[in-house]
Amino acid sequence: MINVTKTYLPNKKKYKSYVDKIYESGWVTNDGFLVRELTERLEDYLNVRNLVLVSNGTSALEVAYRVLELEGDVITTPFSFVATTSSLVSNGLNPIFADIDISSFNLCPENVSRTNTGKESAILATHVFGVACDIDALQRQASKRRLKVIYDAAHCFGVKYRGKSILSYGDVSVISFHATKLFHTIEGGAIILNHDNLVEETKFKINFGIDGVDSVKSLGINAKMNEFEAAMGLCVLDDIELILEERQEIADFYFTELNDYVSFQGKSPLSNSNNSYFPVLFENKKICETVLCGLNREDIFPRRYFAPSLDTLPYISGGQFMSVSRDISSRVMALPIYPGLAKEDQIRIVNQVKKCLVKNEKN
Ligand SMILES: *Cc1c(COP(=O)(O)O)cnc(C)c1O
C-alpha cells in the first residue's frame, strides 16, 4: 500500500544512543538538553532567530495568537489544513475568509483588501504546499491597516523567500514537525518570532505561563516538546539533505511525466520549492474522483489535500462562500511523495493517472 506520505525513520542505532542519554540524565521533558540542542541546530540550519520548539503545529498557532494578543476577527485562507481555522475558533477568534488566488492556491491580497468588518486584528495566511504567499503585498495591507501577520508555514521546512528563510517573515511564523511532514519530531512544531522582546513571554506561555517557582505571569497552555521528540528531530536533521534530494528527484519525474495531462500549482518566482507535497489539479471534480478511484484500485492512496474548503466547516457561520477555494478543493489531489518511494511505484502512479485520464476522455 502506498500512501500520500510515509514517516521518515532515521537510523535506529543513532536514535537509541540518544535514548540512552535521556535515560542516563533522567530528564525527559521541560526544556531538556536535547530540546536546547535541536533549537540551536534548527536556528543554524534554517538561519533564523527566536525559534521556540513546541508540542505540535496547532499549539504553535494557539500560542502565537496569545503572544500577539489577537482579538475579534482574523482574516484567513479557506484553503489549508483544518487546524488553521479550528485553532482560531477554539481560541475565541472569528475567521473571516478571503478567497485564494487560483494559481498559487494562497490567500489573495486583493481579496484581503476587500474584507472590512472593523474588528480585524490580524492576517493568518498559509504558504500552502510550501509555495510562498505574496508576502510583500500582504505586508503592505497589514501595515496600512495595523494588522498583525501570522504565517502558517507548516509545509515550509527549508523554503526561502528573497534568499531568506520564509520562516523569518510576518510577526510570527509557525511550522509543524508532525510525522507526516518533510522534517519531523514525531509530534512537534516551532514558533519563529520576528520580535526579540516576545521570546521570553512565548517560553512562559508554552509552560502554563509559569515564570518562577511560585509564580505565574500570564495565561499559558502546555505546549512543550519532550526529549524523545527532540532526539528524533536531531536524527532526521542529520539526513535532511538526502530527504530534500530524493523529493526533488520524484517531483522532477512526476512533473516531466504528467506535464501534458494535469495542471500544477503556480510557484512563486521569489522562492524555492521543498517538494513537501506534489499537488495535481484536474479539469473537474468528476475526473479527479475517477483518477482517485483508479489509483485506489492499485492500492495507491493520494489525499484530497485540501478538502473540504474551510468555509464549509460546520462551525463556520453561514454567508461565507469562497468559490475559488471550493473549486480548487473539488479537483486537487496530492500524489505520494517521500524518500524511499521506489521508482517502479512512481512509474505505476503516473501510468495509472494517465490511463484514467485517457479512459475518461473516451467516455
Ligand atoms: C500539519 C498542519 C498543521 C497542524 O500541525 P500539527 O503539528 O499536526 O498540529 C497546521 N497547519 C497546516 C497547514 C498543516 O499542514
Identify the CATH number of the domain in which residue 177 sits.
Answer: 3.40.640.10
Domain ends where: 238, 253, 272? Answer: 238
Task: Return the ligand 1 atom nearest residue 59 CA.
Answer: 9
Domain ends where: 238, 273, 301? Answer: 238
Both 55 and 204 in one domain: the answer is: yes
Using most ligand atoms within 8 A of CB, pick from 84, 174, 274 the residue to mutate for ligand 1: 84
Q: Which residue lies with its CA nearest to atom 6 of ligand 1?
A: 57
Q: Which residue lies with its CA nearest to atom 3 of ligand 1?
A: 57
Helices and strands of the chain, counted as H and E runs: 12, 16
Q: Which residue lies with its CA nearest to atom 5 of ligand 1?
A: 57
Question: 224: which 3 cell numbers?
Answer: 512543550
Both 223 and 278 in one domain: the answer is: no
N residues, the chain: 363
Both 280 and 172 in one domain: the answer is: no
Residue 250 Cα to ligand 1 midpoint, Å, equals 23
Using most ligand atoms within 8 A of CB, pick from 178, 310, 325 the residue to mutate for ligand 1: 178
Residue ranges around ligand 1 (CB below 6 Å) = 56-58, 80-81, 83-84, 126, 152, 154-155, 176, 178, 189
Q: How many CB atoms lie within 10 A of CB 123?
A: 28
Both 221 and 261 in one domain: the answer is: no
Q: How many CB atoms lie within 10 A of CB 39?
A: 18
Task: Return the ligand 1 atom nearest residue 189 CA.
Answer: 7
Residue 52 Cα to ligand 1 midpoint, Å, equals 16
Residue 164 Cα to ligand 1 midpoint, Å, equals 22
pLDDT confidence of residue 318: 75
Task: Return the ligand 1 atom nearest residue 83 CA.
Answer: 10
Residue 246 Cα to ligand 1 midpoint, Å, equals 23
Helix (H) or strand (E) holding 63: helix 57-67
Locus of grid cell 468555509: 311
Measure the CA–CA gap between 89 and 96, rounded to whole angstroms.
Answer: 11
Residue 155 Cα to ligand 1 midpoint, Å, equals 8
Domain ends where: 174, 205, 238? Answer: 238
Residue 210 Cα to ligand 1 midpoint, Å, equals 26
- What CATH number is attached to the domain comprising 247? 3.90.1150.10
Residue 184 Cα to ligand 1 midpoint, Å, equals 12
Measure the CA–CA gap between 218 and 298, rounded to whole angstroms.
Answer: 53
Q: Which of 229, 167, 192 is nearest to 64 (CA)?
A: 192
Task: Return the ligand 1 atom nearest residue 155 CA.
Answer: 15
Both 71 and 82 in one domain: the answer is: yes
Both 82 and 212 in one domain: the answer is: yes
pLDDT confidence of residue 230: 98
Residue 144 Cα to ligand 1 midpoint, Å, equals 29
* 3-state SS class at 303: strand
Residue 152 Cα to ligand 1 midpoint, Å, equals 8
Task: Return the ligand 1 atom nearest residue 56 CA.
Answer: 7
Residue 154 Cα to ligand 1 midpoint, Å, equals 6
Structural domain boundaries enclosing 121: 2-238
Measure the CA–CA gap between 209 and 192, rounded to whole angstroms.
Answer: 18
pLDDT by residue for the chain (363 residues), tens digit each?
999 999 999 999 999 999 999 999 999 999 999 999 999 999 999 999 999 999 999 999 999 999 999 999 999 999 999 999 999 999 999 999 999 999 999 999 999 999 999 999 999 999 999 999 999 999 999 999 999 999 999 999 999 999 999 999 999 999 999 999 999 999 999 999 999 999 999 999 999 999 988 999 999 999 999 999 999 999 999 999 999 999 999 999 999 999 999 999 999 999 999 999 999 999 999 999 999 999 999 999 999 999 999 999 999 987 899 999 999 999 999 999 999 999 999 999 999 999 999 877 766
Both 106 and 181 in one domain: the answer is: yes
Both 27 and 43 in one domain: the answer is: yes
Locus of grid cell 506520505: 5
pLDDT confidence of residue 363: 61
Question: 320: which 3 cell numbers?
Answer: 461565507
Both 171 and 273 in one domain: the answer is: no
Both 246 and 218 in one domain: the answer is: no
Both 230 and 266 in one domain: the answer is: no
Distances (CA, A) of 109 to 101, 140, 149, 265, 286: 9, 9, 12, 17, 30
Q: How many domains does the chain have?
A: 2
Both 22 and 43 in one domain: the answer is: yes
